[in-house]
Amino acid sequence: MKTTTAILGLLIITALNTFAEDTAQEQDFKSRLVAFQKSGDMQQATNICEYCSPNILTVSDTDQLELVILRGIKSVEFQEVLPGIKDTKQGVNIDGSIYVLNLEPYKMVVVKFQTTVANASSGFGLLTGIKDGRIMICGYKTKDK
């Protein structure tokens, strides 16, 4: 009985690890995110974000990316997006205008910071999408009327 339980446990752990492996696209994104952090240059965010004009990132998203540079990266994971978040057709109100995501949501990228700061977040999550075969952090664009 103990042997059966141990084997079953190993199978479950193996199955969970199998599903947790990153795709080639996810590995590529992680490499680009680390390169962005090491560069220390917000201009390099164009390698990980889809926000060229007229698309935008929110101030909060920009702040999070600045913290990546300042606090470093402990870990990066991709998590499935909740169904309610995927339905973004209504858009969000930013400064009185309605904006929608500029890419179809792929997964949420969750970044944990290397250094901890008292009374501060240990990390963040942002929506990603795929553009030209590469995972990019989503920005926003004005909603078509």
Radius of gyration of the chain (CA): 18
Task: Tell me the per-residue pLDDT of 133-143, one tens digit each, with 9 for 90 and over.
Answer: 999 999 888 88
Residue 17 counted as domain residue = no
Where does the pLDDT of residue 131 fall: very low under 50, low under 70, confident under 90, or very high at 90 and above?
very high
> Whole domain around residue 29: which residue ranges?
23-142
Average pLDDT, the chain: 82
Backbone angles phi and psi of 44, in degrees to 5: -75, -5
> What is the pTM for the complete model shown?
0.77
Residue 105 counted as domain residue = yes
Compute the distance between CA of residue 137 and CA of residue 127 in angstroms, rounded to an integer.
Answer: 6
One-letter amino acid identity for 142? T
Q: For residue 69, count CB atoms less than 10 angstroms from its CB and return exposed for 0-12, middle for 13-18, buried for 19 or more.
A: middle
Residue 16 counted as domain residue = no
Residue 6 counted as domain residue = no
- pLDDT exceeds cutoff 70 at 92: yes
Rounded mean pLDDT, 73-85:
89
